[in-house]
Structure 1
C-alpha cells in the first residue's frame, strides 16, 4: 500500500505519517484532492495538453512547489508544504501538496447557493485580491500580458481548443459567435488596453478565482488554488482576475454578489474601467470555464456537458452586453429626442454627446445661455453646424476606442452627417444604431412654446424651416415619443437590443 512520506524535500512538512484512514477524494480536470482528517493532499494528474504539462513526476513536483509558493500570497496558513506518496514496491514517489483542511460548509460556493448574505465576506475577498494586486511586481513580462495582443492570443487559444475537441460539446455556431464578438471588441479598443497597461493594471494575480476555492472562515476568507502551471495565464489585468469570481458567482445564480464583488474591488483598487471591459472579461472567463467543462465531459463527468453549454451561453450574454455602440438619437425640435437620449444613455451606461451643448462650448458659451439666431445664420450657420458635428464625431472616436458607448443627441437631418457617423462606427468596430424620434407637429410646437431651462434655442420658425429642409432617414428606426418618456425609452432600448443581437451574426 502506498504511504505518505515527508522526508525528501526542502519544504517538506512535519505532520503525521498516514498509512490508513477514511479518505474522501475530489477530482478536477487536472488533479485529485484527498481529504484525510485535518489535512488535505493535492496530487496532480499526469495530463498534458495545450495549456499544461504534468506528464512526468519531475514536472508535477515543480508544479506543486510553484503552487505552494504562489498560494502563500493569499492563504499562508493553509499551504503547509510538500509531501510524497511512496510505493513499497519501488515505483517513483508521487509529490503531494499538503494543506490545512477547511470545512466544506464554509465554501463561498456553498454559501452562495444557499442564498446566504455574503456581503462581509465579499468585501474581505475583494480587498485581499486588491492588496495582492497592489504589491504585484511590474515588469515587461507582466505588462505584456495586459496588452490587447496578449488577450487576443488567449482568446484564440481557447477558441482553438474548443474547436479541436474530438467531439463537439458546444454548438459550433455558438463558438463562432463567441469568436466573432470577442475579436470585434478587441479590434476597436486599442487605446483602452494601452491605457490599462500604462496605468499598471496588469498584475501577477490569482488567475482562476472561483467560489469553490474560497473558504469564508470566522477570522477571514482563505483564497486557494491560484493558477500556477502557466505564468502567462496568471499575469493579467487585475479586473480580469476579479471578473473570474464575478462570472462564477453569476453562474451560481448570485448576480447580486457578482456585481457587488466587482464594484467593491474597483473601489479598493481605485479603478474605473468602462462597463464594457467588465462584461468582456466575464465573457472570457465563462469561455475558459466552458472549455474546462468540455474537457471534464470528455473524461466522463456526467454533469459537465450541461455546465459547458451554460457557460458558453453566459459568455455570449456578456459579449452582447460588452458591445460598444454608437446611437444616433435624432428628430426635429420638440420631438423629445434629448429626453430620450439622456434616459437611454443612463440605462445603457453610454455617454451623451449633445449637439446643442457642443455647439455652445465651441463658441465659448454656457450651454444654458440662450442664443437666438436667424435660421441658418450665426451660431446656426452651415459652417458652425458642420464644425459642431465634426467635434461630436471626434469626441466619440476617443470614447468608443476606450470602450465607452456613445449616444449622439442631435437632429441628424443631413444625410452626409449620418454617413460620417456610420463610417466612424465601422472603423471603430462598434455597432451603429439609428433612432428617429417622431411626434405629431402640434405636439412638437406645443413643447417648443412651453419649454423652460433648455439648452436648445429652437423656435417655431426653426422647426418649420427644418421640416422643409430635412432629408428622409430610411435607415433609422422610428420611435414614437408622443406617450410617456418610459414608453419611448423602452421602444428605443428594444431597437438597440435587436441591433446588438444582429451584430453578432456576420450572415445577417
Structure 2
C-alpha cells in the first residue's frame, strides 16, 4: 500500500460518496432527486452506475472495473457501487501543475488520447443539434439568467461578458453549421478537469465523464478539450493550455479559428463561475472570489477572441502592405490585399506588371470598384467563419470605408482603421527601390492619388518612417486599446 498515504478515506459530494479502501475506490450514488439528476430509487442508481462504467471505459477501461451489489444483513440488495482501481493522489494532473512539474509530455499524450477518442465517438443528428449556434446560445443565456438571479458577480462584468458572447454568436452561424457538417460535434467527455486526470507511467487516465445527462456530453470536440485547457490556465499553466490546444488541433486535424478556441474556453470558465456563484449563496465565502476569477478569465478570452476587420490603408510607399502583413502574422489573421486581388480578377500573376496612367487599365474606376467589392465579399465570409481579417488597401475613398464598416456590422464584428503615413521623400525612395513588387504605383501615381484622398477621421495614424518592428508596435497598441 506504499502508493497511498492512507489505507482508507471517504470523499462526499452532493450526489455521491467515494470510499477509498486499499487499492480500490467504491462510488455510491446518494438517493437524491435534484433538478438535474434523479437517483431516488435503487433501480435508478443501478442504471446510473452501469452507465457510468460504460461511458468511462471509453477512456479508462482498466480503471472502471464494474458494478457491485451491496447486500443488507438479511441478504437482500441494499445498494450498488461503481468499483474502480484506486488512483494515486500525487499523480493528479492538478497536483503536478501546482508543484511546478514539467507536464509537456503528459499534455501531448492527453491531446493525442482525446483526439483519438473523439475520432471514434458517437455522432448523429440528435447529437449534432447540441453543437449548433442556437443551442450554444441557449446554454449561455441560461447561465446568464442564473448568475444574475444570485447577484454574486458585478453587474457590469456580467453585462460585458454577455454582450461579447451574443455578438460573437450572432455573427458566426455559418461557422457552427460548418463544424456540424464536418462531424466535429460528438458524444465526448463533457467534464475534463485536471483533478480527474491521473498521470501514470504507462499513460494518463481520464476519469469521471458526465453520465447523468447525455446532452451535456454532446458537444464540439474543441469545446470538450477547451474545458481542460481552461482548467490548466486557471492553475497558472497558460503555456500548457496553449500547447494542449495546439497539439489537439494537430492530432484531430481541426482547423478551427482562434476565436472559437477563445469562445469555448470562456464558456467553460463562465460555467465554473456560475457554480462558484451558487456555492457562494450557500455560505461558502471563498467561492465569491473564485467566481470573480473565473468570470475575469472568461472576459479575457472573449475580448481576445473578437473577430475583427482591420483596415490598413495609406498612399503608395507608406508601408501599408508591410504593416498589414506584420499585423496579420502577429494576430494569426487572414490577410487580403487589393494589389493581389486586382491582378487575380484581371487574370494576371501577382508580380506581373500592369503599370498604367492614373485610373487607367486595371486601375480604372470600374476595376477598382470590382476589386473592393470582391475584397469585402471575401472578408464577410471569413468573419462569419470566426476569422479576424486584415485588409491591405489604399482606402482613399470614404465610400469604400463605409461599405467595409457595413460588412463588419453585418457580421457583428469590430472595425479597426490604421492609416500608414511617412514623409513624402521616404515613400518616394521606397517606390524607386521596388523591383518585381505586386504594387505598380510610382511617385507620379502616388501624387495623383493624394489629391483624391477623402478625410478619414476614424483612422489611427501609424508612422512607418522607422523600422518595421516599430511600426508594428504602434499598430498593436491601437489594437490593444
The verdict on a shared fold, with TM-score over 0.5 as the criterion, is yes
**Correspondence for 1:292:** 275
- Displacement, 1:210? 0.6
User: Please, which of 210, 228, 245 is the counterpart of residue 228 of structure 2?
Assistant: 245
- Displacement, 1:488? 1.4
Q: Distance in 2 between matches of 1:142 and 1:334?
A: 54
User: Please, which of 165, 178, 187 is the counterpart of residue 161 of structure 2?
Assistant: 178
Asked if residue 266 in structure 1 is aligned to residue 261 in structure 2, the reply is no
Asked if residue 146 in structure 1 is aligned to residue 126 in structure 2, the reply is no
Alignment of 1:206-217 (within 5 A): 206-217=189-200
**Correspondence for 2:318:** 335
Is the contact between residue 259 and residue 387 of structure 2 (CA under 8 Å) also seen in structure 1? yes
- Displacement, 1:265? 1.4
User: Please, which of 373, 387, 400 is the counterpart of residue 383 of structure 2?
Assistant: 400
Is the contact between residue 32 and residue 42 of structure 1 (CA under 8 Å) also seen in structure 2? yes
1:130-183 CA distances to partner (integer Å, 9 max, x unpaired)? 222111222111111121111112212222222222xx3221222222211111
Is the contact between residue 354 and residue 361 of structure 2 (CA under 8 Å) also seen in structure 1? no
**Secondary structure of 1:164's partner?**
helix
**Correspondence for 2:102:** 117
User: Please, which of 76, 98, 114 is the counterpart of residue 61 of structure 2?
Assistant: 76
**Correspondence for 2:120:** 135
Alignment of 1:44-59 (within 5 A): 44-45=29-30, 51-54=36-39, 58-59=43-44
**Correspondence for 1:17:** none
**Correspondence for 1:12:** none
Larger CA deviation: 414-423 vs 125-134: 125-134
Larger CA deviation: 368-377 vs 55-64: 55-64
**Correspondence for 2:459:** 476
Indicate how the Cα distance of structure 1 residues 286 and 407 shifts in structure 2: closer, same or farther if over 3 A, else same. same
Q: Distance in 1 between matches of 2:67 and 2:279?
A: 27
Is the contact between residue 187 and residue 217 of structure 2 (CA under 8 Å) also seen in structure 1? yes
Q: Distance in 2 between matches of 1:247 and 1:333?
A: 44
Alignment of 1:185-334 (within 5 A): 185-334=168-317
Indicate how the Cα distance of structure 1 residues 296 and 28 shifts in structure 2: closer, same or farther if over 3 A, else same. farther
Q: Distance in 2 between matches of 1:411 and 1:329?
A: 8
Asked if residue 42 in structure 1 is aligned to residue 27 in structure 2, the reply is yes
- Displacement, 1:348? 0.7
Structure 2 unaligned spans of 5+: 1-5
User: Please, which of 344, 363, 375 is the counterpart of residue 346 of structure 2?
Assistant: 363
What is the TM-score of this pair, normalised by structure 2? 0.94
Is the contact between residue 61 and residue 95 of structure 1 (CA under 8 Å) also seen in structure 2? yes
- Displacement, 1:76? 1.2
Q: Distance in 2 between matches of 1:320 and 1:441?
A: 37
**Secondary structure of 1:452's partner?**
coil
1:224-266 CA distances to partner (integer Å, 9 max, x unpaired)? 0001111111011111111111111111111111111112112
Q: Distance in 2 between matches of 1:200 and 1:391?
A: 30
**Secondary structure of 1:411's partner?**
coil
Is the contact between residue 29 and residue 295 of structure 1 (CA under 8 Å) also seen in structure 2? no
1:389-419 CA distances to partner (integer Å, 9 max, x unpaired)? 0010011111111111100100100000000
Is the contact between residue 197 and residue 206 of structure 2 (CA under 8 Å) also seen in structure 1? yes
1:81-138 CA distances to partner (integer Å, 9 max, x unpaired)? 3346677799994543222111011111111122212222222222221222111222
Structure 1 unaligned spans of 5+: 1-20, 499-508
**Secondary structure of 2:114's partner?**
helix
Larger CA deviation: 299-308 vs 173-182: 299-308
Is the contact between residue 189 and residue 401 of structure 1 (CA under 8 Å) also seen in structure 2? yes
Indicate how the Cα distance of structure 1 residues 424 and 352 shifts in structure 2: closer, same or farther if over 3 A, else same. same
Is the contact between residue 355 and residue 389 of structure 1 (CA under 8 Å) also seen in structure 2? yes
Residue-pair matches, total = 476
Is the contact between residue 59 and residue 206 of structure 2 (CA under 8 Å) also seen in structure 1? yes
**Secondary structure of 1:116's partner?**
coil
Indicate how the Cα distance of structure 1 residues 324 and 55 shifts in structure 2: closer, same or farther if over 3 A, else same. farther
Asked if residue 98 in structure 1 is aligned to residue 76 in structure 2, the reply is no
Indicate how the Cα distance of structure 1 residues 406 and 230 shifts in structure 2: closer, same or farther if over 3 A, else same. same
- Displacement, 1:27? 4.3
**Correspondence for 1:16:** none
Larger CA deviation: 488-497 vs 90-99: 90-99
Superposed CA RMSD: 2.2
What is the TM-score of this pair, normalised by structure 1? 0.89
**Correspondence for 1:65:** 50
Q: Distance in 1 between matches of 2:62 and 2:205?
A: 9
Indicate how the Cα distance of structure 1 residues 320 and 47 shifts in structure 2: closer, same or farther if over 3 A, else same. farther
**Correspondence for 1:5:** none
Indicate how the Cα distance of structure 1 residues 48 and 139 shifts in structure 2: closer, same or farther if over 3 A, else same. same
Is the contact between residue 29 and residue 296 of structure 1 (CA under 8 Å) also seen in structure 2? no
Indicate how the Cα distance of structure 1 residues 54 and 465 shifts in structure 2: closer, same or farther if over 3 A, else same. farther
Is the contact between residue 29 and residue 292 of structure 1 (CA under 8 Å) also seen in structure 2? no
Indicate how the Cα distance of structure 1 residues 49 and 287 shifts in structure 2: closer, same or farther if over 3 A, else same. farther
Q: Distance in 1 between matches of 2:289 and 2:78?
A: 37
